[in-house]
Structure 1
């Protein structure tokens, strides 16, 4: 059974970081097959971890980006690059964290992540014009 308060806190944080449009789309695409998984990530990742007071959203965003890049999770990395508009992590932050990824997780992982980040940041700039 879901913890309603944890789910609600998680959903508020998830919306704040990823944006209503992304979360609404994920919610619309939820089926019986993945409903438990969606509750799990909303409560666990967003309600328990992202909602904790120990780090800022910017710091959590940077940690998440570095981990996703290092692990080669390209789709999730792109999503979290887009989310930096809401977390306060800057283009300079992304560049610096990807240099760390190159040293600690490998140049190929950082190379892929730089490509994705450049693409996502360029789309953001185009949309702003």
Structure 2
């Protein structure tokens, strides 16, 4: 089953509106995919942050940057990853992601 820090967000946003999406998020994505032993949760977080940045999905970055820290990535590592991705995913996407990171990290302090 998904981590308790994950389920309230999806359930709170969409539980009554889209219960199947919440179930898939909790049971399949976070319950099965994220728990596969072939990659660590830390590595999965880094990959997810990179994919979200590359796709311009900054709204999802708010959760996943905080989750990446829970999974062992440091703020310094995440900032470096965003900086590195500027050259591969695009400068505007990296700048938008960095703005989200700055906000997420400031609220965590």
- If the TM-score is normalised by the length of the shorter chain, which range does it land in? 0.7 to 0.9
Greater relative CO, 1 or 2 (CA 8 Å, sep 6+): 1
Name the CA distance, whole Å, in 1 between partners of 2:47 and 2:24: 20
Which residue in 1 is equivalent to 2:93?
Answer: 109
Instruction: Output one character per residue of 1:43-86: Cα deviation in whole Å (capped at 9) or x when no partner.
Output: 33112310100111111111111111111111110111122332
Stretches (4+) displaced over 3 A: none
Task: Please report the TM-score for the alignment, with normalisation by the length of structure 2.
Answer: 0.86
After TM superposition, the structure 1 stretch with the greater mean CA deviation from structure 2, 93-102 or 56-65, is 93-102
Q: 1:62–1:93: 8 Å Cα contact kept in structure 2?
A: no
Q: Given the alignment of the two structures, is residue 37 of structure 1 paired with residue 18 of structure 2, yes or no?
A: no
Name the CA distance, whole Å, in 1 between partners of 2:79 and 2:11: 32
Name the CA distance, whole Å, in 1 between partners of 2:27 and 2:85: 28
2:58 equivalent among 74, 80, 89: 74
Name the CA distance, whole Å, in 1 between partners of 2:96 and 2:9: 26
Q: What value does the CA root-mean-square deviation take over the aligned residues?
A: 1.7
Which residue in 1 is equivalent to 2:77?
Answer: 93
Q: Given the alignment of the two structures, is residue 122 of structure 1 paired with residue 106 of structure 2, yes or no?
A: yes
* Structure number with higher helix proportion: 1
> Where do 5+ consecutive residues of structure 1 fail to align?
1-8
> Where do 5+ consecutive residues of structure 2 fail to align?
none
Task: Please report the TM-score for the alignment, with normalisation by the length of structure 1.
Answer: 0.74
